Amino acid sequence: MTVLNQQTTYDDNNIFAKMLDGDIPYHKVYEDDKTLAFMDIMPQAEGHVLVIPKQKAVDLADLEPEYAAAVLMTSKKVMQAQRQVFEREGVIQMQLNGSQAGQTVFHYHVHLIPSSIHELGRHAVTQADNNDLAAIAQKLAAVIDA
Ligand code: AMP
């Protein structure tokens, strides 16, 4: 099968790698030794968070078991915080593998979106206000730390 535009080798200059290196700013929600969670700057709903492993993985195919477990446990923390902060049960967990699936940043990441599949906004289109993202990140982080 031919897969078009598929990126299979890890690019050390991808935007999430730069975040992990501390080279570009982001709104942090949570961090531990194996994962980082931060606000998506083009959210598909208010409170859209991304969770990444501190491992150079392009997509799910590359993810090592210990990082897979860590990402899932961080996702659980974030989802529980989103439920509390946004007072809603429904949170979408989404993850795209390959450009054919719509993946645009080639460092593995899980999307956690307080929304419904019927109301989900468009993917990576509209940039959110920085102050709003900072305020939401602070609220989510406070609940996780509590
Ligand atoms: P995907 O298309 O699954 O690879 O998702 C990449 C996500 O990264 C999209 O939802 C973008 O809105 C988001 N994104 C891109 N650049 C940044 C950035 N600098 N900070 C936070 N999120 C970003």
Give the per-residue pLDDT at 8.
78
* pLDDT value at 19 more than 60: yes
Q: In this structure, what CATH number is given to the domain that contains residue 76?
A: 3.30.428.10
Q: Which domain holds residue 11?
A: 2-145
| Residues 88-120: tens digit of each pLDDT | 999 999 999 999 999 999 999 999 999 999 999
Report the alpha-carbon distance of residue 91 to residue 11 in Å, rounded. 30
Report the alpha-carbon distance of residue 43 to residue 119 in Å, rounded. 13
C-alpha of residue 65 to centroid of ligand 1, in Å:
24
Pocket-forming residues, ligand 1, beta carbon under 6 Å = 15, 26, 40-42, 50, 96, 102-105, 124
| Residues 22-74: tens digit of each pLDDT | 999 999 999 999 999 999 999 999 999 999 999 999 999 999 999 999 999 99
Report the alpha-carbon distance of residue 103 to residue 14 in Å, rounded. 13
Exposed e or buried b for every residue in 45-67, given b needs 16+ CB within 10 A?
bbbbbbbbbebebbbeebbeeeb
Domain count for the chain: 1
Can you tell me which atom of ligand 1 is nearest the CA of 102?
2
Can you tell me which atom of ligand 1 is nearest the CA of 48?
10
